[in-house]
Chain A
Amino acid sequence: MNAVQWSTLLPIVCYFAVMYFIGFYAMDLVNKASRRRGGSGAAYMEEYMTGGRGTGGFVLAMTLVATYLSAGSFIGGPGTAYTHGLAWVFLAMAQIPTGYYTLMVLGKKFAIVSRKTGAYSISDFLRARYESNAVLVIASLSIIFFLIAAMAAQLIGASRLLQGSTGLDYKTALLFFAATVVVHTAIGGFRGVVFNDTLQGMVMTLSTLALFIAIVTKGGGIANIVQDMKAVNPGMISPYGVKEGFMTVPWVSSFWVLVGFAVVGLPAVAQRAMSYKDSKSLHSGIIYGTVVSIVLLLGMHLAGAFGVTQVSGIQSGDLVIPTLITTLFHPVVAGLVLAGPLAAVMSTVDSQLLVVVAAIVNDLLVNYVKPELKEQFRTLRTITVVTCFVVGVIIVALAFNPPELMVWLNLFATAGQLSTFLWPTILGLYWKRANAQGAIASMLAGIGAYLYFNYFLPRPIGLHPIVPSLVLSLLAFIVVAKMTRKPSERVIRLFWGL
């Protein structure tokens, strides 16, 4: 273990200090706004969970992109691109639609419906639409299990990055990082998260540009670098990658579903689509979001792929980005650039944490156990903040010593969420005939099929298992909904009427 690199660590510490400051500032705003609106528990919940639906365009774009882009796009993906070359960048560009797709497909209808039904979260939406305890329980459990695993995995990624680049001990790095995320989320709620995401989105952008420019300059221009990559292995500049039979056409194309079109089904992402202020915010959010997400995805993955010509022989994919940053920059600047990937993790975890807290407090506690909490501002506030800390402690404990189950759950975290939420959300919004039985069938078929394919048929007809799972999930929904009775007229009036 090398000594702690204080010159790199200090800029990171300062950056984290800003996160706390924003958290406290947002806490103040939430309290003031909920008091102004009568000081009830319900007003607090709406403020805490959606920021009172006041998100503007630029902030909407930043929080959407920062939430969606995680350790996967900033550490893991570029690390894989280092090994497989341009083919992996090509695969990552299945995410070109990230910025516009969710916001256009859920669109204003989702915002209008969530205002009509008073929904703050995707579970609220499902509850209002399907009026079914079973749907809600499956949804909440799916959120709690898959997201806790996903968050713990993200924390592990960030702590390894801090450890690798600053020499900090793994456990110290983990506590330091996790405390920053949990505190700013717990006290600031959605507003704190959104402010932080905005700052983090900007840090991610600057960090990506700095790294990309540094690598291209060092490597003597793109043309030079590409030829150097070809010299390392011609597969590095072909769309099939360096390993025969790995990046096949159907498998790579499946990523358009896994990380492209199906992303609409991620609760933390979909929640962004209920929070914006007005249609103008949505419009500018779509444009900013598209530009920023493309710049970040292309920049980071190219940096990873180009990295092979700068530093060769990095063994672990997760170490590619930190190694490149510490090799290319002066230690202090390296600290600033490293804030980018750390921000990517933080902005994902804080939003996921909020979704989990909503699932526990709002979906389970307030709705089933103690409905009178709706009236009690102070009690509900205490419970919410405490829950946030408790979940924080759980994910830190998991990341401290990752159990077998967690590794397994994280493997299914994204696909599990997509299988649970995609069709119940989309069909609930656009298909009048969608009912609870269909939604339950679709959730169970989606998760079941995904598990089955993963274990017994890892590449069904060459595809990634998520594709047939979502197809089966859709079929199960339609068939079962057609066979069972229509949703109540009251629900249809609430959703489709004036």
Chain B
Amino acid sequence: MEEKRFLETNELGFTEDPRYRECEKEAWYGVVLGLVNLVIWAVAGYGLGSGPVESYSYIMGFPTWFFVSCIVNSVFAIAATVYIVKKKMRDMPLDPMTAEEAEEFVRNGGGRV
């Protein structure tokens, strides 16, 4: 584990904002969660709903395909959002930083994966 991580300069010779590393990671959580919701929706909806209507099974009154693809999926989306926000996303200042503040941010664990 790296205890000390100093701000690096990039190929253009300036120090990049260390918060962006964190921001980009958080953006990926959004993209991945979106894709997972899409997969659950498609697999459950078309996987369970493509047979003849007569052979449908039901959960709480809804056809199983609908219950899983829309209702379970929604509950999953909410639970996953709460988990990501509480466990994975970091508090950070949003205003422009001085070099010292940026150094401090990195020292306190910001911008590290």
Binding site for B on A (CB under 8 A): 86, 89-90, 93-94, 96-97, 99-101, 103-109, 111-112, 115-116, 221-226, 230, 234-235, 237-240, 249, 253, 256, 260-261, 278-280, 283-284, 286-287, 290-291, 294, 298, 430, 489, 492-493, 496-498
* Cα A407 to Cα B41 with chains together (Å): 33
Of residues 63 to 90 in B, which have CB atoms within 8 Å of A's CB atoms?
63, 65-66, 69-71, 73-74, 77-78, 81-82, 84-85, 89-90
Contact A105 B27 (CB under 8 A): yes
Contact B19 A108 (CB under 8 A): yes
* Cα A291 to Cα B45 with chains together (Å): 21
A residues near B54, Cβ cutoff 8 Å = 234
Select A279's contact among B20, B60, B91, beta carbons within 8 Å.
B91
* Cα A86 to Cα B56 with chains together (Å): 14
B residues near A90, Cβ cutoff 8 Å = 41, 45, 66, 69-70
A residues near B20, Cβ cutoff 8 Å = 109, 112, 496
A residues near B92, Cβ cutoff 8 Å = 108, 279
Contact B41 A100 (CB under 8 A): no
Chain B count of residues within 8 A CB distance of the other chain: 59
* Cα A498 to Cα B102 with chains together (Å): 8
* Cα A253 to Cα B17 with chains together (Å): 38
Contact B95 A115 (CB under 8 A): yes
Contact A261 B34 (CB under 8 A): yes
* Cα A373 to Cα B67 with chains together (Å): 57
User: Smallest CB–CB gap between B104 and chain A, Å?
Assistant: 12
Interface secondary structure of B, over-half rule: helix
User: Smallest CB–CB gap between B102 and chain A, Å?
Assistant: 5
B residues near A105, Cβ cutoff 8 Å = 27, 30-31
- Name the 6 nearest CB pairs between A and B, nearest first: A104-B30, A223-B61, A222-B61, A109-B23, A234-B53, A239-B49
Asked whether any CB of chain A lies closer than 8 Å to the CB of B113, the reply is no
Contact B45 A294 (CB under 8 A): no
Select B89's contact among A109, A256, A283, beta carbons within 8 Å.
A283
Asked whether any CB of chain A lies closer than 8 Å to the CB of B108, the reply is no
User: Smallest CB–CB gap between B81 and chain A, Å?
Assistant: 5
Contact B73 A112 (CB under 8 A): no
Binding site for A on B (CB under 8 A): 10, 12, 14-17, 19-20, 22-24, 26-27, 29-31, 33-34, 37-38, 41-42, 45-46, 49-50, 53-54, 56, 58, 60-63, 65-66, 69-71, 73-74, 77-78, 81-82, 84-85, 89-99, 102
Contact A222 B70 (CB under 8 A): no
Given contacts A86-B63, A111-B94, contact A294 B77 (CB under 8 A): yes
B residues near A497, Cβ cutoff 8 Å = 14-17
* Cα A258 to Cα B54 with chains together (Å): 32
Contact A222 B49 (CB under 8 A): no
* Cα A115 to Cα B27 with chains together (Å): 19
User: Smallest CB–CB gap between B30 and chain A, Å?
Assistant: 3
B residues near A279, Cβ cutoff 8 Å = 89-94
- Extra contacts, 15 of them, besides A283-B85, A298-B70, A496-B16 (Cβ < 8 A), are A86-B66, A104-B29, A108-B92, A109-B27, A112-B20, A112-B96, A226-B58, A237-B53, A278-B93, A279-B89, A279-B90, A286-B81, A493-B12, A497-B16, A498-B96
A residues near B81, Cβ cutoff 8 Å = 99-100, 286-287, 290
Contact A96 B45 (CB under 8 A): no
Q: Which residue of A lies closest to B71 (CB)?
A: A298
Contact B61 A112 (CB under 8 A): no
Given contacts A108-B92, A239-B45, contact A230 B58 (CB under 8 A): no
User: Smallest CB–CB gap between A193 and chain B, Å?
Assistant: 21
A residues near B42, Cβ cutoff 8 Å = 253
User: Smallest CB–CB gap between B6 and chain A, Å?
Assistant: 14
Q: Which residue of A lies closest to B16 (CB)?
A: A496
* Cα A497 to Cα B18 with chains together (Å): 9
Contact B77 A96 (CB under 8 A): yes
Contact B30 A100 (CB under 8 A): yes
User: Smallest CB–CB gap between A450 and chain B, Å?
Assistant: 22
Contact B77 A107 (CB under 8 A): no
Given contacts A104-B27, A111-B94, contact A93 B69 (CB under 8 A): yes
A residues near B94, Cβ cutoff 8 Å = 108, 111-112, 115, 278-279
* Cα A109 to Cα B26 with chains together (Å): 10
Given contacts A237-B56, A253-B42, A287-B82, contact A224 B61 (CB under 8 A): yes
Contact B74 A96 (CB under 8 A): yes
